[in-house]
Amino acid sequence: KTQMGQWIYKNAADYGWSLSFPKGYEDVTGYRWECWHFRYIGKNACLFQQKWFGGIQQFMLEFIDCWKNTN
Domains belonging to the chain, first-starting first, are: 3-70 (3.30.1380.10)
Stated pTM of the model: 0.83
pLDDT for the residue 10: 94
**How confident is the model over 54-70, as pLDDT tens digits?**
999 999 999 999 999 98
* Res 71 pLDDT > 80: no
Residue 40, SS3?
Answer: strand
* CA–CA distance, 20 with 31 (Å, rounded to integer): 9
- Mind listing the pLDDT tens digit for each residue in 8-35? 999 999 999 999 999 999 999 999 999 9
